Amino acid sequence: MSSSVTTEKDTNLKSQAGKKRSQWGEVWRRLKKNHMAMIGLIIMIILILLAVFANQIADYEEVAIKQNTANRLQGPSRENWLGTDNFGRDIFARIIHGGRISLMVGVVAVGIAVLIGGTLGAIAGFYGGRVDNLIMRAMDIFLAIPSILLAIAIVTALGANLFNLMLAIGISSIPGYARIVRASVLTVKDQEFIEAARAIGASDFRIITKHIIPNALAPVIVQGTLGVATAILSTAGLSFIGLGVPKPRPEWGSMLSDGRTYLWEASHITTFPGLAIVITILALNLLGDGLRDALDPRLKQ
Protein backbone atom coordinates (compact mmCIF):
# COMPACT_ATOMS: atom_id res chain seq x y z
CA MET A 1 0.00 0.00 0.00
CA SER A 2 2.49 2.56 1.16
CA SER A 3 4.95 1.47 -1.50
CA SER A 4 2.40 2.04 -4.25
CA VAL A 5 1.87 5.56 -2.94
CA THR A 6 5.53 6.36 -3.08
CA THR A 7 5.93 5.01 -6.60
CA GLU A 8 3.04 7.15 -7.73
CA LYS A 9 4.66 10.18 -6.18
CA ASP A 10 7.94 9.21 -7.78
CA THR A 11 6.53 9.01 -11.26
CA ASN A 12 4.79 12.32 -10.69
CA LEU A 13 8.02 13.93 -9.67
CA LYS A 14 9.77 12.32 -12.58
CA SER A 15 7.35 13.56 -15.18
CA GLN A 16 7.58 17.02 -13.72
CA ALA A 17 11.34 16.89 -13.81
CA GLY A 18 11.09 15.66 -17.37
CA LYS A 19 9.01 18.64 -18.33
CA LYS A 20 11.22 21.10 -16.57
CA ARG A 21 14.16 19.64 -18.41
CA SER A 22 16.43 22.56 -18.93
CA GLN A 23 19.01 23.06 -21.59
CA TRP A 24 21.66 21.76 -19.21
CA GLY A 25 19.44 18.84 -18.31
CA GLU A 26 19.36 17.97 -21.99
CA VAL A 27 23.11 18.13 -22.18
CA TRP A 28 23.45 15.86 -19.18
CA ARG A 29 20.99 13.40 -20.67
CA ARG A 30 23.01 13.23 -23.87
CA LEU A 31 26.27 12.98 -21.97
CA LYS A 32 24.92 10.07 -19.96
CA LYS A 33 24.31 8.12 -23.15
CA ASN A 34 27.97 8.47 -24.12
CA HIS A 35 29.76 5.59 -22.37
CA MET A 36 33.28 6.80 -23.02
CA ALA A 37 32.46 10.22 -21.59
CA MET A 38 30.88 8.61 -18.53
CA ILE A 39 34.02 6.50 -17.99
CA GLY A 40 36.03 9.70 -18.20
CA LEU A 41 33.72 11.43 -15.76
CA ILE A 42 33.82 8.55 -13.26
CA ILE A 43 37.63 8.42 -13.40
CA MET A 44 37.77 12.16 -12.84
CA ILE A 45 35.42 11.95 -9.87
CA ILE A 46 37.58 9.20 -8.34
CA LEU A 47 40.75 11.23 -8.94
CA ILE A 48 39.16 14.32 -7.42
CA LEU A 49 37.99 12.36 -4.38
CA LEU A 50 41.46 10.85 -3.95
CA ALA A 51 42.99 14.30 -4.19
CA VAL A 52 40.52 15.86 -1.76
CA PHE A 53 40.89 13.10 0.81
CA ALA A 54 44.60 12.52 0.20
CA ASN A 55 45.49 13.39 3.79
CA GLN A 56 42.94 10.97 5.19
CA ILE A 57 44.15 8.17 2.93
CA ALA A 58 47.90 8.62 3.48
CA ASP A 59 49.55 11.07 5.81
CA TYR A 60 51.53 13.65 3.86
CA GLU A 61 54.48 14.08 6.22
CA GLU A 62 54.75 10.47 7.37
CA VAL A 63 54.06 8.52 4.21
CA ALA A 64 54.58 10.74 1.21
CA ILE A 65 57.56 12.83 2.32
CA LYS A 66 59.53 11.01 5.00
CA GLN A 67 62.45 9.07 3.61
CA ASN A 68 62.97 5.48 4.62
CA THR A 69 66.02 4.34 2.72
CA ALA A 70 65.92 0.85 4.23
CA ASN A 71 62.73 0.25 2.32
CA ARG A 72 63.80 1.70 -1.04
CA LEU A 73 62.92 0.46 -4.51
CA GLN A 74 60.46 -2.13 -3.27
CA GLY A 75 58.01 -3.57 -5.75
CA PRO A 76 54.27 -3.47 -5.12
CA SER A 77 53.25 -5.23 -1.92
CA ARG A 78 50.46 -5.26 0.64
CA GLU A 79 52.05 -2.39 2.61
CA ASN A 80 53.08 -0.38 -0.40
CA TRP A 81 50.43 -0.98 -3.05
CA LEU A 82 52.48 0.53 -5.82
CA GLY A 83 55.88 -0.10 -4.26
CA THR A 84 58.40 2.44 -2.98
CA ASP A 85 60.75 4.85 -4.69
CA ASN A 86 64.48 5.43 -4.39
CA PHE A 87 64.02 7.08 -0.98
CA GLY A 88 61.71 4.34 0.24
CA ARG A 89 58.59 6.52 0.04
CA ASP A 90 55.24 4.96 -0.76
CA ILE A 91 54.47 5.60 -4.42
CA PHE A 92 50.70 5.35 -4.04
CA ALA A 93 50.75 8.05 -1.37
CA ARG A 94 52.98 10.23 -3.51
CA ILE A 95 50.74 9.76 -6.52
CA ILE A 96 47.58 10.84 -4.72
CA HIS A 97 49.33 13.80 -3.11
CA GLY A 98 50.86 14.59 -6.47
CA GLY A 99 47.39 14.35 -8.01
CA ARG A 100 46.33 17.12 -5.69
CA ILE A 101 48.91 19.41 -7.16
CA SER A 102 48.27 18.36 -10.73
CA LEU A 103 44.54 18.92 -10.45
CA MET A 104 44.98 22.18 -8.59
CA VAL A 105 47.44 23.55 -11.13
CA GLY A 106 45.21 22.33 -13.94
CA VAL A 107 42.07 23.95 -12.61
CA VAL A 108 43.62 27.19 -11.39
CA ALA A 109 45.69 27.65 -14.56
CA VAL A 110 42.66 27.09 -16.76
CA GLY A 111 40.67 29.38 -14.48
CA ILE A 112 43.20 32.18 -14.94
CA ALA A 113 43.32 31.59 -18.68
CA VAL A 114 39.53 31.49 -19.09
CA LEU A 115 39.02 34.57 -16.98
CA ILE A 116 41.61 36.76 -18.68
CA GLY A 117 41.49 35.20 -22.13
CA GLY A 118 37.71 34.95 -22.06
CA THR A 119 37.24 38.58 -21.08
CA LEU A 120 39.66 39.77 -23.75
CA GLY A 121 38.02 37.55 -26.36
CA ALA A 122 34.53 38.66 -25.39
CA ILE A 123 35.47 42.34 -25.60
CA ALA A 124 37.18 41.79 -28.96
CA GLY A 125 34.22 39.86 -30.34
CA PHE A 126 31.48 42.14 -29.04
CA TYR A 127 32.96 45.50 -29.94
CA GLY A 128 34.90 44.47 -33.05
CA GLY A 129 36.77 47.01 -35.11
CA ARG A 130 39.94 48.53 -33.72
CA VAL A 131 39.57 47.06 -30.22
CA ASP A 132 39.26 43.62 -31.77
CA ASN A 133 42.29 44.18 -33.94
CA LEU A 134 44.41 45.42 -31.08
CA ILE A 135 43.56 42.56 -28.75
CA MET A 136 43.78 39.80 -31.30
CA ARG A 137 47.07 40.95 -32.80
CA ALA A 138 48.54 40.99 -29.29
CA MET A 139 47.23 37.44 -28.88
CA ASP A 140 48.80 36.44 -32.19
CA ILE A 141 52.19 37.63 -30.97
CA PHE A 142 51.61 35.59 -27.83
CA LEU A 143 50.65 32.56 -29.89
CA ALA A 144 53.84 32.77 -31.95
CA ILE A 145 55.77 31.70 -28.84
CA PRO A 146 55.29 27.99 -28.07
CA SER A 147 53.31 27.95 -24.84
CA ILE A 148 55.66 25.58 -23.04
CA LEU A 149 58.59 27.88 -23.84
CA LEU A 150 56.59 30.83 -22.59
CA ALA A 151 55.78 28.94 -19.40
CA ILE A 152 59.45 28.02 -18.96
CA ALA A 153 60.43 31.65 -19.43
CA ILE A 154 57.87 32.85 -16.89
CA VAL A 155 58.84 30.26 -14.28
CA THR A 156 62.52 30.95 -14.79
CA ALA A 157 61.94 34.65 -14.40
CA LEU A 158 59.65 34.44 -11.37
CA GLY A 159 61.15 31.41 -9.66
CA ALA A 160 59.95 27.83 -9.43
CA ASN A 161 57.09 27.49 -6.99
CA LEU A 162 53.52 26.29 -7.08
CA PHE A 163 51.95 29.71 -7.50
CA ASN A 164 54.30 30.77 -10.30
CA LEU A 165 53.72 27.45 -11.99
CA MET A 166 49.97 28.01 -12.09
CA LEU A 167 50.51 31.56 -13.26
CA ALA A 168 52.93 30.53 -15.99
CA ILE A 169 50.72 27.80 -17.38
CA GLY A 170 47.64 29.99 -17.06
CA ILE A 171 49.20 32.96 -18.82
CA SER A 172 50.66 30.87 -21.60
CA SER A 173 47.23 29.52 -22.51
CA ILE A 174 45.41 32.88 -22.50
CA PRO A 175 45.52 33.40 -26.29
CA GLY A 176 43.80 30.09 -26.96
CA TYR A 177 40.81 31.03 -24.81
CA ALA A 178 40.70 34.55 -26.18
CA ARG A 179 40.35 33.10 -29.67
CA ILE A 180 37.69 30.60 -28.73
CA VAL A 181 35.57 33.05 -26.79
CA ARG A 182 35.90 35.66 -29.51
CA ALA A 183 34.83 33.22 -32.21
CA SER A 184 31.98 32.04 -30.04
CA VAL A 185 30.79 35.57 -29.25
CA LEU A 186 31.02 36.48 -32.93
CA THR A 187 28.74 33.67 -34.00
CA VAL A 188 26.26 34.34 -31.22
CA LYS A 189 26.33 38.09 -31.73
CA ASP A 190 25.15 37.84 -35.31
CA GLN A 191 22.24 35.59 -34.57
CA GLU A 192 18.75 36.87 -34.98
CA PHE A 193 17.80 36.46 -31.33
CA ILE A 194 20.35 39.09 -30.37
CA GLU A 195 18.73 41.50 -32.79
CA ALA A 196 15.36 40.41 -31.45
CA ALA A 197 16.57 41.23 -27.93
CA ARG A 198 17.60 44.68 -29.07
CA ALA A 199 14.22 45.06 -30.70
CA ILE A 200 12.47 44.61 -27.35
CA GLY A 201 14.63 47.33 -25.84
CA ALA A 202 17.28 45.30 -24.02
CA SER A 203 20.45 47.20 -23.04
CA ASP A 204 23.99 46.18 -24.05
CA PHE A 205 24.62 44.89 -20.54
CA ARG A 206 21.51 42.75 -20.60
CA ILE A 207 22.33 41.43 -24.04
CA ILE A 208 25.86 40.47 -23.06
CA THR A 209 24.98 38.85 -19.76
CA LYS A 210 21.63 37.23 -20.56
CA HIS A 211 21.89 36.44 -24.23
CA ILE A 212 25.48 36.28 -25.40
CA ILE A 213 27.42 34.73 -22.52
CA PRO A 214 25.06 31.82 -21.82
CA ASN A 215 25.08 30.96 -25.51
CA ALA A 216 28.81 31.35 -25.96
CA LEU A 217 29.69 29.12 -23.01
CA ALA A 218 29.60 25.67 -24.60
CA PRO A 219 32.88 25.73 -26.54
CA VAL A 220 34.62 27.26 -23.52
CA ILE A 221 33.48 24.39 -21.32
CA VAL A 222 34.79 21.85 -23.80
CA GLN A 223 38.06 23.67 -24.27
CA GLY A 224 38.40 24.17 -20.53
CA THR A 225 38.07 20.45 -19.87
CA LEU A 226 40.66 19.61 -22.48
CA GLY A 227 42.72 22.55 -21.22
CA VAL A 228 42.98 21.06 -17.73
CA ALA A 229 44.57 18.01 -19.35
CA THR A 230 47.06 20.15 -21.23
CA ALA A 231 47.87 22.09 -18.08
CA ILE A 232 48.49 18.88 -16.15
CA LEU A 233 50.77 17.73 -18.90
CA SER A 234 52.63 21.04 -18.89
CA THR A 235 53.01 20.84 -15.12
CA ALA A 236 54.47 17.37 -15.42
CA GLY A 237 56.74 18.53 -18.21
CA LEU A 238 58.00 21.53 -16.27
CA SER A 239 58.51 19.44 -13.13
CA PHE A 240 60.35 16.84 -15.17
CA ILE A 241 62.94 19.41 -16.15
CA GLY A 242 63.05 20.74 -12.61
CA LEU A 243 60.99 23.90 -13.10
CA GLY A 244 57.92 22.66 -11.33
CA VAL A 245 57.06 22.25 -7.71
CA PRO A 246 60.18 22.19 -5.51
CA LYS A 247 61.10 18.87 -3.95
CA PRO A 248 60.32 16.98 -1.82
CA ARG A 249 56.74 17.80 -2.69
CA PRO A 250 55.49 14.93 -4.83
CA GLU A 251 54.47 15.78 -8.38
CA TRP A 252 53.86 13.34 -11.21
CA GLY A 253 56.38 14.86 -13.57
CA SER A 254 59.15 15.08 -11.00
CA MET A 255 58.41 11.52 -9.88
CA LEU A 256 58.97 10.40 -13.45
CA SER A 257 62.14 12.41 -13.57
CA ASP A 258 63.44 10.95 -10.29
CA GLY A 259 62.65 7.43 -11.35
CA ARG A 260 64.30 7.45 -14.72
CA THR A 261 67.73 6.50 -13.29
CA TYR A 262 66.14 3.31 -11.99
CA LEU A 263 64.29 2.46 -15.15
CA TRP A 264 65.85 -1.00 -15.40
CA GLU A 265 66.03 -2.11 -11.77
CA ALA A 266 62.72 -0.65 -10.60
CA SER A 267 60.54 0.32 -13.52
CA HIS A 268 57.45 0.67 -11.29
CA ILE A 269 58.80 4.00 -10.00
CA THR A 270 58.24 5.53 -13.41
CA THR A 271 55.42 3.29 -14.61
CA PHE A 272 52.89 4.30 -11.96
CA PRO A 273 53.22 8.08 -12.10
CA GLY A 274 53.30 7.70 -15.88
CA LEU A 275 50.07 5.73 -15.74
CA ALA A 276 48.53 8.33 -13.45
CA ILE A 277 49.28 11.00 -16.04
CA VAL A 278 48.01 8.91 -18.93
CA ILE A 279 44.81 7.94 -17.15
CA THR A 280 44.04 11.51 -16.09
CA ILE A 281 44.70 12.94 -19.54
CA LEU A 282 42.67 10.19 -21.15
CA ALA A 283 39.76 10.69 -18.77
CA LEU A 284 39.72 14.44 -19.34
CA ASN A 285 39.86 13.98 -23.10
CA LEU A 286 37.06 11.44 -23.08
CA LEU A 287 34.99 13.78 -20.96
CA GLY A 288 35.84 16.78 -23.11
CA ASP A 289 34.96 15.02 -26.33
CA GLY A 290 31.75 13.75 -24.80
CA LEU A 291 30.87 17.26 -23.66
CA ARG A 292 31.53 18.58 -27.13
CA ASP A 293 29.16 16.05 -28.61
CA ALA A 294 26.56 16.66 -25.92
CA LEU A 295 26.72 20.43 -26.30
CA ASP A 296 26.95 20.59 -30.07
CA PRO A 297 23.45 19.55 -31.16
CA ARG A 298 22.18 22.32 -28.91
CA LEU A 299 24.21 24.80 -30.89
CA LYS A 300 23.03 23.38 -34.16
CA GLN A 301 19.38 23.70 -33.19
Q: Which helix (H) or strand (E) holds 170?
A: helix 162-172
Q: How far is the CB of 125 from other proteins (least distance, A)?
A: 15
CA 133/CA 147 separation, integer angstroms: 22
CA 250/CA 162 separation, integer angstroms: 12
Q: Where are the alpha helices (DSSP H) in 1-146?
A: 2-20, 23-33, 35-52, 54-57, 91-127, 129-144
Q: How far is the CB of 297 from other proteins (least distance, A)?
A: 9
Q: How far is the CB of 210 from other proteins (least distance, A)?
A: 7
CA 96/CA 83 separation, integer angstroms: 14
Q: How far is the CB of 24 from other proteins (least distance, A)?
A: 9
Q: Note the residue count of the chain.
A: 301
Query: Of the candidates 23, 9, 19, which has an alpha carbon nearest to the alpha carbon of residue 299?
Result: 23
CB-nearer residue toward other proteins: 11 or 203:
203
CB-nearer residue toward other proteins: 157 or 201:
201
72 exposed, middle or buried (CB, 10 Å; 0-12, 13-18, 19+)?
middle
CB-nearer residue toward other proteins: 53 or 193:
193
Q: What is the DSSP letter of 195?
A: H
Q: How far is the CB of 12 from other proteins (least distance, A)?
A: 15
CB-nearer residue toward other proteins: 194 or 282:
194
Q: How far is the CB of 221 from other proteins (least distance, A)?
A: 13
CB-nearer residue toward other proteins: 80 or 215:
215
Q: Is the peptide bond before 248 cis (omega within 30 degrees of 0)?
A: yes
CB-nearer residue toward other proteins: 201 or 265:
201
Contacts with other proteins, residue ranges (CB under 8 A): 19-20, 22-23, 129, 191-193, 195-203, 206, 210-211, 214-215, 298, 301
